[in-house]
Every structure is written in C-alpha cells, then in structure tokens.
C-alpha cells in the first residue's frame, strides 16, 4: 500500500538578480526621475503591464504592488510580523499606512498577481507520459533594493498518491534542462505550462516544450513559464539572471493521510524513506535512493526532530525545505477548528524565514560574481599599466554595497523563540551562508587593501613630483629675487647696464632657459600624469548608480 498525501502545498522559489546598471541604461526615462533605484520599480513594472503585450497581463492582470495595509490582531500582517524581532520587521516587511501610502521604511517591494476568481493551473508532463496539473494558489514577487529578487509560485493539491506528489515537486521545479538527453530520458519535463480555466476549457497562457535552447551570453535558456511571469524585464538583453542552477528551491508542506498508512508508520523505516525522498526532492522509490549509512548521517543533521514524537519533521537542504506531518490534529491548545497549526506556521513565519535565508544566499552569490568581475577589470587595467578612477569607483561601490548588506540586511537571529532560532540556524548552515559571507568579506577587504596600497604608492609618486617641481620653481624664484635686488656698483654695471653686451646677453638667456625649462617640465609632468590630477583639477560629472553594467559588458 502506497501512502497518500492528504494535502500538498509547495512554494517554488526562483531567486534572480536584476542588473541595476543595465536597467538604468535601458529605461532612462524612468530612472532619471528617481533618486533611488528602488523608487522606480513601481513605474517600471506598471509601464510593461499593457494589454496585448503578454497573455499573463491580458488574462491575469499583471503584477501589482501589495504592501501590508492592515495590522489588527486578525490580519496577516500582525500574525506574520509579531514573531520577529522589531528590527527584522523594519527591514523585511513592505508596509503601507491606513491611507494606503507606503511608509518608505523597508528597502524592498512586494508584488502579487491577483488570482481571486481565477483558476490558474501549473501543468507538466515528460517523455514517459507522466503528467500532473496543480492549482496555483498565489504568485508573489519580492524585489530588494540591492537588485536581488525572488519569484514565489505557490501550488496546492489534495488527496493524491505520494509518488505523484514527489513527481510534482521534482519535475515542476525545473527552469531549464541541463542537457537535451535529460529531456529525452524523462528526467526533466518536456512540457510546462500555465493554463487558465475558462468556460471553453483550459487556455494556455504560456508554454515551454524545451524543443531547443541556446545560451544567452553566459546565461541559460530559461523556460517560458518563468520569463512570461517576468514580462517586465528583458531576459534576451540580460537585464536579469538566475543565481542558482536549473532547479527552483522547493519549500513544501506534506500532510500524510493517516488512514493510508499502518498504525506504526510514525516509527517505521518506511516513513524515514519517504521523508528522505521529499527532503531531497527525489522521485518515488521503496528504499533510500543513496547509501543507507550515508543518508542516516545526513538525515540526522538535516532533519529537525523536536516534534518527531508526533510524526512532524522539518528538514533543510541547499535546495529544499520540508514540513511533513501525519494527519491533522489539535496541537496542544491550538484548536484544529482555527486552522491546522503546522500548516499555518509553514505558510506564515517559516515561509518568510525561508525567503530571508534565500535572499542572503542569492545576495552572497551575486557578490561573488561582482567581486570576480571587478577584479577582472582591475587586472586588465593593471596590465595596461593604469588603474583608473572608474576602477576605484567600482571597487568602492562594491565595498559600500557589501557593508550595507552586512549592517542593514544581515541578521544571525530573526526571532526570539527557540524553534525559530534553530530553524533559521539550520537553513543558514545548509545554505553555507556564514562561510560565503566570511569569504566574500575577506575578498572585498583584500581588494580594497590592494587599491589602497596602489593609491598610496601613486600618492607618494605625486608628492615626489611636487617636491621636484617645487625645487625647480624655488630655484627660479631665488634667482629672480636675487636679480631683483637693487645692487649698485660693479654688480649693477655687470648685470643691468649693457657695458659688456656678451656677458649680459648670456646671463639673460641662461636665466630665461632656466625659467622656461622649469615651466615646461611642470607642464610635462602634469600632462604625463593627467589621470592623477584630473580628479583634483576638474569637477567630476555626476554619475548614475553603479555606472555601466559589468555583467553584460556595456
């Protein structure tokens, strides 16, 4: 007897990085009017929500800014925020006041596509004729001021076999195949689609068959199911890029139907096998997919077992988060009539904690790429024999962004309760956040120290040149002053009265050559080292945030 899943609720999370410099260049009409990049997001997204441009916009209405607007005890805002520290609420919640005006507090924007009254489905099938269709419950988009964004796709299904639930999670997370062979062998779907239920049947809003695909520069060919939702940005122009691999992050809730499993299932090895299949987003199998001893060690580290005596497990890997329970029931004093507590927590605070951890990971991966690109430009300019002010600006901008992330966004603790602290610590550990942060911090500091040493050397050279010029001009000043003295007698007759024309002319020529040579040498030194003096002598033109795009090579 195969276990059945009474309730499957999965969020497919797609983190991506918007190229802020490319967007400023491509949409100057929007961002020239806004002092801050984040202030132009609403207008940018709204400008692309015109009917006729996209079926998603035509049939679903497109993305709309939806900050929290209520904060009473029964509101989602209150119940989501109350479990977090006050400083986390300020940073990670998009809130508007009672009038609907945004409180320009948090440096992020939350958008949703309104699905009320619409029946949207996510469909998939593969070369082996396996197929599934699940209801899409919500579409959310989070964009942060540093250019990192997370697309969240929520799907639900009820009363299905565990093998089908596993196939849904494993197949629908794909955003492009790693090879054509993967599609032909059925290891990746050969069809993905958004379909809308209408009076005449289901209408396809976007389809992807993976019939062909080519790299776009260094970027993979994203599925149309993803690019159709991100219709406001041009992927072909590299205005954004995925920060992970061919899979979306899977954050899933699974409630096993208690009537479909034996009474001792909670303590059985079969349950551990099923947990491992969901946690590692594998397909159905009667046994562990990997070596037993290896998996037991991994599960001991990656499963949170505080509530395992009730059959409830939480798990975390680098590409998935799992909440799994057997049946639905009253949880201590939490009444089932008020909604199942475990699912409420999954859909509330734990969902938000997963977003924060994923934001940290995506940001650090983006920093790794930017650090490499800035270092590459410095290396090339150094080989040409000149590091420019643009190089310094890029490095300083990178360092400033990292300091802002470390000081504003990054928190080791989000909430005060033990369970939330332990969950978030496990997510950070599986994502390798502490190690990545320390490594990038070291790289940025070394980059900054290298440039500091270079400019110290350049500054010393400039001072030495100034000392040489001062010596030459000082000698000329001494001579001028000397000859300017009103000496009389033999000295005056020798130098100022033309009684000896040959000697007099020779002295004038000598002094003139000395003055002209000093001035010429000064002009030559300034011209030959113009880059060192340009920033001091000429006012620098105001630059847009970040300058040109390093990622797409503008």
User: Do strands 201-208 and 240-242 pair parallel, antiparallel, or not at all (unpaired)?
Assistant: unpaired
What is the pTM for the complete model shown?
0.87
Q: Shortest CA distance to 455 belongs to which of 517, 507, 374, 393?
A: 393
pLDDT at 123: 97
Residues making up the chain, counted from first to last: 554
Max mean pLDDT range (7-11, 127-131, 545-549): 7-11
Helix, strand or coil for residue 329? coil
Residue 385 has pLDDT above 80, yes or no: no
* pLDDT-derived band at 543, boundaries 50, 70, 90: very low
pLDDT at 541: 45
Cβ–Cβ under 8 Å, residues 99 and 85? no
Q: What is the mean pLDDT of residues 335-360?
A: 93
Q: Among 151-155, 165-169, 208-212, 528-532, which is the least confidently predicted range?
A: 528-532
Q: What is the mean pLDDT of residues 102-130?
A: 89
Residue 365 has pLDDT above 90, yes or no: yes
Q: Shortest CA distance to 374 belongs to which of 358, 351, 385, 390?
A: 390
Helix, strand or coil for residue 178? coil
Please provide the average confidence, as pLDDT, over all residues in the chain: 87
pLDDT at 476: 66
Regarding predicted confidence, which is higher, 274 or 338? 274
Regarding predicted confidence, which is higher, 135 or 510? 135
Per-residue pLDDT reduced to its tens digit, 179-198: 889 999 999 999 999 999 99
Per-residue pLDDT reduced to its tens digit, 280-289: 999 999 999 9
Q: What is the mean pLDDT of residues 404-421?
A: 94
The residue whose two tokens read 């001893």 is 293
Distance between CA atoms of residues 12 and 152, nearest Å: 6
Residue 539 has pLDDT above 70, yes or no: no
Q: Shortest CA distance to 20 belongs to which of 148, 145, 147?
A: 147
Q: What is the mean pLDDT of residues 383-389?
A: 76
* pLDDT-derived band at 464, boundaries 50, 70, 90: confident
The Cβ of residue 17 has, within 10 Å, a number of other Cβ atoms equal to 20
Per-residue pLDDT reduced to its tens digit, 297-323: 999 999 999 999 999 999 999 999 999
Distance between CA atoms of residues 241 and 425, nearest Å: 28
Cβ–Cβ under 8 Å, residues 186 and 130? yes
Per-residue pLDDT reduced to its tens digit, 221-253: 999 999 999 999 999 999 999 999 999 999 999
Distance between CA atoms of residues 366 and 243, nearest Å: 7
Beta-bridge partners for 155? 10, 136
pLDDT at 542: 41
Structure tokens that stand for 383 in this block: 């080989």
The residue ranges of every structural domain in the chain are 4-67+102-347, 358-455, 468-537
Q: How far is CA 98 from CA 68, 77, 103, 275, in A?
A: 10, 13, 10, 44
pLDDT at 59: 92
pLDDT at 85: 92
């Amino acid at each position: 007897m195969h276990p059945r899943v009474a309730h499957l609720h999965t969020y497919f999370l797609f983190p991506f990085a918007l190229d802020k410099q490319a967007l400023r260049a491509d949409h100057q009409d929007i961002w020239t009017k806004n002092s801050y990049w984040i202030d132009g997001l609403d207008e940018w997204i709204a400008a692309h929500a015109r009917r006729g441009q996209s079926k998603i916009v035509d049939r679903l209405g497109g993305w709309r800014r939806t900050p929290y607007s209520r904060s009473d005890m029964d509101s989602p805002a209150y119940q989501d925020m109350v479990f977090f520290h006050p400083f986390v609420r300020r940073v990670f919640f998009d809130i508007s006041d009672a009038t609907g005006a945004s409180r320009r507090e948090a440096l992020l924007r939350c958008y949703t596509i309104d699905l009320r009254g619409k029946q949207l489905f996510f469909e998939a099938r593969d070369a082996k004729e396996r197929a599934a269709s699940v209801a899409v419950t919500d579409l959310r988009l989070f964009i942060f001021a540093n250019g990192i964004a997370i697309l969240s796709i929520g799907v639900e299904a009820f009363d299905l076999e565990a093998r089908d639930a596993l196939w849904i999670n494993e197949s629908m997370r794909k955003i492009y195949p790693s090879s054509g062979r993967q599609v032909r062998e059925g290891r990746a779907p050969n069809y993905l689609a958004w379909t809308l239920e209408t009076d005449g049947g289901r209408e396809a809003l976007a389809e992807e068959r993976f019939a062909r695909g080519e790299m776009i520069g260094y970027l993979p060919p994203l599925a149309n199911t993803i690019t159709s939702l991100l219709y406001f940005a041009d992927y072909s122009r590299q205005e954004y890029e995925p920060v992970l691999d061919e899979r979306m992050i899977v954050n899933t809730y699974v409630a096993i139907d208690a009537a479909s499993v034996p009474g001792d299932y909670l303590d059985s090895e079969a349950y551990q096998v099923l947990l491992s299949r969901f946690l590692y987003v594998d397909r159905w199998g009667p046994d562990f997919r990997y070596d037993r001893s290896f998996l037991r060690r991994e599960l001991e580290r990656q499963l949170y077992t505080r509530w395992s005596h009730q059959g409830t497990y939480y798990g975390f890997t680098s590409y998935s988060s799992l909440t799994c329970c057997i049946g639905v029931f009253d949880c201590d004093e939490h009444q089932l009539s008020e909604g199942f507590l475990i699912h409420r927590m999954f859909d509330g605070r734990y969902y938000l904690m997963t977003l924060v951890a994923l934001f940290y990971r995506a940001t650090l991966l983006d920093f790794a790429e930017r650090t490499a690109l800035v270092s590459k430009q410095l290396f090339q300019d150094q080989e040409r024999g000149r590091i420019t002010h643009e190089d310094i600006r890029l490095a300083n901008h990178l360092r400033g962004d990292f300091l802002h992330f470390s000081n504003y966004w990054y928190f080791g603790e989000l909430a005060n309760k033990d369970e939330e602290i332990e969950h978030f610590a496990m997510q950070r550990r599986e994502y390798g956040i502490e190690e990545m942060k320390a490594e990038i911090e070291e790289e940025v500091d070394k980059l900054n120290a290298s440039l500091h040493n270079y400019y110290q050397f350049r500054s010393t050279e400039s001072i030495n040149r100034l000392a040489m010029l001062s010596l030459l001009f000082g000698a000329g000043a001494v001579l001028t002053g000397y000859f300017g003295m009103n000496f009389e007698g033999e000295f005056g007759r020798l130098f100022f009265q033309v009684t000896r024309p040959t000697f007099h002319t020779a002295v004038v020529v000598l002094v003139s050559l000395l003055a002209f040579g000093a001035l010429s040498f000064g002009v030559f030194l300034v011209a030959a080292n113009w880059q060192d003096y340009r920033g001091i002598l000429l006012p620098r033109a105001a630059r847009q945030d970040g300058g040109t795009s390093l990622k797409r090579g503008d």
